[in-house]
Structures are given as C-alpha cells and as structure tokens.
A and B are shown apart, each in its own frame.
Chain A
Amino acid sequence: MSQELFSKLSMALIDGEEETVAALVKQALEQQLNPLEIIKQGLTPGMNVVGEKFACGDFFLPHLVMAGNAMKAALSLLEPALKAGGLIRQTAGVVVLGTVAGDIHEIGKSLVGTLLTADGFVVHDLGVDVPTDRFVRVTRETGADLVGLSALLTTTMRHQRQVIDALTEAGLRHQVKVMIGGAPVSAHWAQEIGADGYAEDAVGAVGLARRLTGRGTGS
C-alpha cells in the first residue's frame, strides 16, 4: 500500500507537480508513515530520475526547477514531523546563500538555491543586498558547510572579498567552503580573494558544491 503511495510521490516529483506532491506527502503523514522513509522511498528516487534525465539531456532546467520546488514543498511539510520524531535526515550539507550587499540581482542565485535543494542540500537563502555580518551570523548559527556569494556588478564584487575576510575574523573560515558566482566574477577573482571555488552557471554551481563538501546527492 505504502509502496504505491511512494511510487505516486516519485512520479509527481518527476513531473514537477508541487500540489500533488504536497497532497501525497500529507496523505503519507496521515497514514503515520515514517518521514525518513517518505524521503528515502518516495522523494529521493524521483529526484535521482530527474537528475539522470537532466544529465543525459532529456530533462532541462525548467524540469529541474519544478521538481526542486516540489521537493521544497515536500520538505517543509516533513520538517515538523522529523523534528517531532527526533529524526534527522541525511543531507548533502548546509548552505548559506545570498547576493552581496548593495546588489539586488537574484535570479541566478535563486536558481542555484533551488538546484542545491533538489540535490539534497539544506539551503538558507538570505535573499539580496545581504549585509556581510548577516552572512557571518547565519553561517555561525546554522553550522553551515558552504557559503555561496553572488554578485552581478563590478562594484559589488568586493563584498565577496569582505565576507571571506569577515568569516576569517570571526574564526569561521576553516569551517566553511566559500563559492562565488555572478557575471563579472572570474576564476582569477576567486583566487585573488581566497574563495574556494567559482562557478559560471547554476549547473556548474551544483557540481562545485558537491566537490567542495565532498558529498553527492543526499537524503
């Protein structure tokens, strides 16, 4: 019985149907199914199929994003149940993500966030125009493994350096890997400011995140 439900859940995830996924997760929780099992047997298989299809060119970014949004919806329903049961889900890592101070560009950064969530990371997306000290604070509070900094302007890029320096000052630099991105950003800049990596596009960012945290798809 639950196998059928898990199967439907996977299918709905592959089809990127957020509402159906939410409804099925609610149903599963009502049936007292173990939230970790729901993730492991219902969501992860679906996400793996999405990832494989994308890798071989059958699926494209819109499919990934729709699945990622459905995944987010599922996780937000499952988090309370996990907490209540004292359960901890396996993740690929914790990421703090944001566009740096003075910069309001968000679409690329948000896409990275969605893809990372789909890939099993826990993502704290701080939004845009994020003050440097907020990056530091949230990194400390969440025990993040990875900090992702986006900057779209040559004038706001320097805040990427600022955040890295602030993390060092706060004694957190050793705890996290820092990856940067954005149109004017380059590998050279990443090296200059002491970032751990640089990705040119959203898909590259996921690969980089995996390499930097030494993990693959979680959950």
Chain B
Amino acid sequence: MQPALELLDSSLLERIIGEGIELQRDPGIKIHNQEALRLLADAGASVDRASMVARIPQSLVERTLATAPNAFALYSSDGRAAVHYQDNRVHFDPGSAAVNILDGTTGRHRPPVTADYVRFTQLTELLPAYDAASTAFVCSDVPGEIGDLYRLYLSLLYTRKPVVTGAFSIPTLHVMKDLLVAEAGSLEALAARPRAVFDVCPTPPLVWSELTCQNMMDCARYGIPVQFVSMPLAGSAAPVTLAGALVQHTAESLSGVVITQLARPGAPLVWGGAPAITDMRYGSTPMGAIETGMIDVGCAQIGKRLGLPTHAYLVTSDSKVVDVQAGFESGMNALLGALAGINMISGAGMLDFLRAQSLEKLVVDAEIIAMAKRLLAGIEARDESLGADLIRAVGHHGQFLGQKHTTRWFAREHHIPSEVVDRASLATWEEMGRLSATERAQRRAASLLAAYRTPPLAPEVRRELRAIALGAARQHGMEQLPPLEGE
C-alpha cells in the first residue's frame, strides 16, 4: 500500500475547482498571443482583442479536459520508458534554469559554465535516485540567445535519462525540437517516445505571455509533452490564503489545458506548478516553507481529481549553502511531494529560491529522495506468517542476524544509503576526518564522476547535434562552441 497524504477534503476540492472554472469566464484569461486568441474565439470563447482577454466557458473547459491524456511516458535514449506520468507514480529530477552555481571549492555563488553543466549532468546520470535529468542551469559561456538549446544539447550528449527542460524564446523551441529529432530519428519517433518535456509558465495572475503561449502550442503540435508550471506567489502575486492560491493555480492551469488541447486535441500535458508563499518581511518567495509544500500537495490533489499527470517544485531550499536549513527544508518538502503522489518532482540540487544549483546538494538530495522512495514502497506482508513462525523458531535466546530470512530480505526491506549518511560509530567518524554530510557528498561526487562513462551515441547523431548547436551559436556571434572534454 503506497502511503498517501491529502490536504483537501472533497468539499474544499470541489469549491476550488469551481472557482478556478469561474475565473476562466470572469475576469477571463489575458493572453498575449493572437493565434491562441483566435483558437479560443473559434472554439466559443468570448474574446476581446483589444484587451487580449478570453472569457472561456465551462463547456470548453470540460471538453478540453476530456481530450487531455491521463497518462504518458518519457523515454531514455535507449528506448526504455523511464518516467510514468500517471496515477500515483512518483519520480524526481533536479531543478532547472538556475543562474548560479554554488562553487564547492570556493563556497561562493558564481555564474556556471559548460564544465559545471557537464559535471552536473554526469552526476545526475550516475545517481539512481534521479529518474530524469533537467537542463539544470544556464551556461554563462554561451550567448544568452542560445542558452536554452545549448543546455539541452549538452544533456543529450551526457545522459541517457529523459530531460525536463524549457525554451527561452519562440524560435529556439524549434531548434530544441530539431535536437530531439536528430537523436530520435524523426518527429514521429520522438512523439511516440518523448525524450523531453517542456516547462511553460503562465505569469501570475491569469496571464499567458506570447512566448509561453506559443511554446505551449508549438510543443502540442510536435507531440512534445508540455508541463504547466503555474506559480501563484501567495500574498504578492496571488491570494495570501493557501486555498486562494490554489484557486489561482487551478485557473491558470485550466486555461493551459484549454489552449493546448485546442492547438492539438490529445496533446500530452502535465498539471505542474512552482507555487510559494511570500515572506512578508522581505518580499522573497521561500521554496522551503512548509506552506509552499502544502500548496503543492493541494495542486496535485486537484490535478489528480481532474485525471491529469502532475508535477511540482520541491526538494529545494532557500539556504545559500548546503547546511542544516538546506537539509530540513528539502527533506521535509520531499516527503510532502512523495506522499502526495506527484508524478514528477523537480528541484533537487537547488538553493537560494531556485537561483542556484549545487553538485554537493544534488548528491545529498539523492539520499533524501531514496528515503522518500522507500517510504512510498510502504510495508508489505512478505510471508504467510509475518513474524510469528520465525520468532517462535528463533526462541527466547536466539538472534536474527544468522537467519536465512534476514539474509533473504534485508536489502529489500531496508534501504542502504551511501556514505553521505553517517551511521558509523563516533570513533570511526573521528578517524575518517570528522566530516560533515556535505563534505562526504563532495567526496562521493568526485568518486562517482571518476567512474562516469559517456553514453553511446551514434557518431552521425553526435555530429548532427553539434551542427545544430553550432549553427545556432554562429547566428549569435559565437564562432566555436566551448570545448568539451575528449573533443
């Protein structure tokens, strides 16, 4: 039995959905995209071109919810279905689009470069906790205009795992599609076995920009799954009450469903989010707050009620270093996400309000995730006699270490963490250098990376990927791509 957490009783759930549907009609959704407005008007929405507001009737919401798929899978480069966006199957990936990296050597936050991205992706590939990779941060050593596609290019070279990504402009989305098609062989092959999902973020409250709206429709038409990441910031960009923030998330996400399904009925999509509360002392939006996690649990419950795959941003911290705060915020919120049965939980590795990534934290978070996954596996009845027969057989003075039953089951029943989690004696800890978890994570990262092997990639595919990335770079004034090791 997979343990579960729900925060909304059915009456509150229905009320939230009801208000979300109401908002589609009044005040409607503001959409900075002429094509989307036209699609909506043709489908029966009342559209005011001047104000760019579409009032979407309930019937259209219901019709498009009915065509949205309940499930789909993401595939690794070797053709395996690695992520199942369905039911209560839970997966994790690192967070995406950070602008800084916490340098493990200097302890300072700095802009990341290609070498950082490669190491991060290699670690993600090696850590079993991560079901998917992400385009974790923006490389500062390439022009900003190709920042999105360049990260995807690197990910395709260094990891087999499916990639959670996103585009930064309208034209680059098509180049990113070209990269994915180059690897898949054809657009049909890519659509049949998606390797990547694209995040699109509405602007709170109730607005879609031209870019995000266009990305949504283009992905839908290509058969590339779209992941809505509505981010109600409770108290500043959304109602301060958690229920009110959920209403806004529902409204924004429903409009995403409508637009995507009108662009192409049956297009795979994800009811995702990155909500947060607003800290009224600073105006910052803490991702590590318990209320942030609670809103995510609510969002997922609503998405599931609507029969859709779900996503959220969790396992993150607002701390600037990999310290106690980073540990407890990420750990506690990871459990909330896991128990809520969220299909894809993005965020591991991240610090400082999703602005920074850390290789050390990526390694620590892998331990958190492994614990969460063990929790989800629950408690099973392994044998006919759960324990009575064995206890009776062992008797009043026996022990269990030497029992065949123990040898048979210990590895399945008890998760064995890596050396990042210290369970040795005090004396051993002192002998080993009195290391902290973060220091042990750093060492583990180094030893994992030493054993990394690049996934096999057909030379002609590698050439084509490089040509696409290089072509884009040259269009923006960069003659050569940053050199990669072994090139």
Binding site for B on A (CB under 8 A): 57, 60-62, 104-105, 107-108, 111, 153-155, 157-158, 183-184, 186, 188-189, 200-204
B281 contact from A61, A153, A158, A200, Cβ within 8 A? A61
**Are A104's CB and B209's CB within 8 A?**
yes
Which secondary structure dominates chain A's binding surface? loop
Counting chain A CB atoms within 10 Å of each CB, the highest count among B100, B203, B207, B353 belongs to B203
The residues in B between 284 and 312 inclusive whose CB is less than 8 angstroms from any CB of A are 284
Interface residues of B in 26-70 (CB under 8 A from A): 32
Q: How far is the CA of A57 from the CA of B283 in the complex (A)?
A: 13
Contacts of B233 in A (CB 8 A): 107
B237 at the interface (CB under 8 A from A): yes
A108 vs B203: C-alpha distance when bound (angstroms): 12
Chain A residue at minimum C-beta to C-beta distance from B204 = A107
Contacts of B353 in A (CB 8 A): 183
Interface contact B355-A61, CB-CB below 8 Å: no
The answer to whether A111 and B236 touch (CB under 8 A), given A105-B203, A157-B144, is yes
Q: Decide if B169 is an interface residue (CB 8 Å cutoff).
A: yes
Closest to A185 in B: B99
- B37 → chain A closest CB, angstroms: 16
Complex CA distance for A35 and B12, rounded to whole angstroms: 51
- Tier of interface size on chain B: 20 to 34
Tell me whether A155 and B284 are in contact in the complex, defined as CB-CB below 8 angstroms, given that A183-B355, A188-B110 are known contacts: no
User: Are A154 and B144 interface neighbours, CB within 8 A?
Assistant: yes
- Tell me the B residues contacting A by CB distance below 8 Å: 32, 97, 99-100, 109-111, 138, 144-145, 147, 168-169, 203-204, 207, 209, 211, 233, 235-237, 278, 280-284, 353-355
Contacts of A157 in B (CB 8 A): 144
Q: Within 8 Å CB of B99, what residues of A?
A: 154, 184, 186
A154 CA to B209 CA in the complex, in Å? 15
Q: Are B203 and A111 in contact (CB-based, < 8 A)?
A: no
Q: In the complex, what residue of chain B is closest to A153 when comparing beta carbons? A: B168
Is B283 touching A202 in the complex (CB atoms < 8 A)? yes
CB B189 to nearest CB in A, in angstroms, measures 30
Q: Given contacts A154-B138, A188-B110, A188-B111, are A108 and B283 in contact (CB under 8 A)?
A: yes
CB-based contact A104/B169 at 8 Å? no
**CB <8 Å contact, B280 and A154:** no
A111 and B144 contacting across the interface, CB-CB below 8 Å: no
| Distance to closest chain B CB from A196 (angstroms) | 20
Distance (whole angstroms) from the CB of B96 to the closest CB of chain A: 12
Inter-subunit contact A62/B280 (CB<8 Å)? yes
Which among B100, B203, B211, B283 has the highest number of chain A CB atoms within 10 Å?
A: B283
User: Judging by beta carbons under 8 Å apart, are B145 and A155 in contact?
Assistant: yes
**Nearest 6 Cβ contacts at the A-B interface:** A60-B280, A202-B283, A155-B168, A61-B280, A201-B283, A107-B237
CB A200 to nearest CB in B, in angstroms, measures: 8
Residues of the B chain whose Cβ atoms lie less than 8 Å from the Cβ of A158: 144
Enumerate chain A residues within 8 angstroms of B97, measured Cβ to Cβ.
Answer: 154, 184
Q: Which residue of A lies closest to B237 (CB)?
A: A107
Measured CB to CB, the nearest residue on chain A to B100 is: A186
Q: List 13 A-B contacts (CB under 8 A).
A: A62-B235, A107-B204, A107-B233, A107-B236, A108-B236, A108-B283, A155-B169, A184-B138, A186-B99, A201-B283, A202-B282, A202-B283, A203-B281
Min CB distance B145 to A, Å, is: 7
